[in-house]
Amino acid sequence: MKFIDEAIIQVLAGKGGDGVASFRREKFIPRGGPDGGDGGRGGSVFAIADRNINTLIDYRFARIHRAKNGQNGQGSDRYGKSAEDIVLRVPVGTLIKDSNTGETVADLVRDQQKVLLAKGGEGGIGNLHFKSSTNRAPRQFTFGEPGQEFELKLELKVLADVGLLGMPNAGKSTLIRAVSAARPKVADYPFTTLQPNLGMVRIDQNRSFVMADIPGLIEGAAEGIGLGHHFLKHLSRTRLLLHVVDMMPLNEDTDLVHETRALVKELQKYDESLYQKPRWLVLNKTDMMPAEKRAELCSQFVEKLGWKDKYFVISALTGEGCKLLTYAIMDYLEQNLPPQPDNPTPENELVTP
């Protein structure tokens, strides 16, 4: 299935049914009172997060989602039937915004979290409700209210604890294959990865985290070179970034220091908050280096780069250093838990914008 992470849709709630002005007309009851019923409520539009869905492809081609109108009231005290609500199922991690104002309507980050997108109109009132001692034959009634209408932008941001960042062919997909059960495509040409991949990294029975692999980023991505930096949004929910560097590029003239710094600049151009996230350096493909010079070459690169934070030397192909890396990540995530909301919303509780 094609991976689609953005879509613009229109949601239209149903109109409420009209009330009616009616009077009893039965044999032997010459002056029957008012018996006009109320109109039914119009259908509303909801969205619910479903962990079994991983793309917004259904909403790329089906843009208009309209609920039905409520039925009009009738005589003999008969009320109109309320219309059924419609529910749009979206992937967990979907951000819903008003496409005109940019205002966030909802951020569905838990399975079965539900949000009201457009409320159906209330039904009108029949003349049955207007009778009184001084108004015994009321002809007043009200019309049903219109339903809400919005144009919304759906944006999927995958949920992951750790994100992999790097140039094409840096070995990100090989790394996620080495430490998890994910099986993204691996090949010896650039931009093998064309969509985000998620992998569950299990340390032991009760300790695990989710790792996200995105397409490679190159210098000039902000100007649309390569695949652009569109996929960087899938790292916005992560708590830690791993900057994977290919220590043995195919082109021997490649300036690794320049490439590494260029990628960081692209990250900053895209989003300052993403640039400020904790970032570790992961030196990959070190199995291709001479064993006696490996430590020296890696140390020289880190020194030229001016890197002061934590870094790891690994080979995703052979698995060397990967276990140490995953244990360090797990320890970091456990020591830096995300802040919890003061009033967390239960998974099955309705959230209204």
**pLDDT over threshold 60, residue 6:** yes
Residue with tokens 């007309």: 25
The overall pTM is greater than 0.95 = no
Percent of the chain with pLDDT over 70: 87
Concatenating the DSSP letter of every residue in 249-309 gives -SSTT--HHHHHHHHHHHHHHH-HHHHTS-EEEEEE-GGGS-TTTHHHHHHHHHHHHT--S
Domains of the chain in start order, with CATH, are 6-156 (2.70.210.12), 162-335 (3.40.50.300)
Give which of 315, 254, 265 is closest to 289, Cα–Cα.
Answer: 315
277-311: pLDDT as tens digits: 899 999 998 888 888 888 888 988 899 988 888 88
Q: Which residues of 47-85 are buried (b: 16+ CB within 10 A; e: fewer)?
A: bbbbeebbbbeebbeeeebbbbbbbbbbbeebbbebbeb
At 335, list the tokens. 């020591």
Question: DSSP 3-state assignment of 229?
Answer: coil
pLDDT at position 266 = 81
Identity (one letter) of the amino acid at 188?
D
Contacts of 122 (CB under 8 A, 6+ apart): 16, 41, 42, 144, 145
Express each pLDDT in 313-353 by its tens digit.
999 889 899 999 999 999 999 888 776 555 444 444 455 54
Q: Tens digit of pLDDT for each residue in 138-189?
A: 889 999 999 999 999 998 888 888 988 888 878 888 888 888 877 765 645 4
No. of H helices and E strands in the chain? Answer: 6, 15
Q: What is the mean pLDDT of the chain?
A: 83
Of the candidates 287, 283, 314, which has an alpha carbon nearest to the alpha carbon of residue 299?
283
pLDDT beyond 70 at 133: yes
Distance CA 122, CA 15 (A): 7
Residue 118 has pLDDT above 80, yes or no: yes
Q: Which helix (H) or strand (E) holds 171?
A: none
Beta bridge partners of 91: 50
Q: What is the pLDDT of residues 232-286, one digit of tens each?
A: 777 888 889 999 988 888 777 778 888 888 888 888 887 888 888 899 999 998 8
Residue 94: strand pairing partners: 108, 156
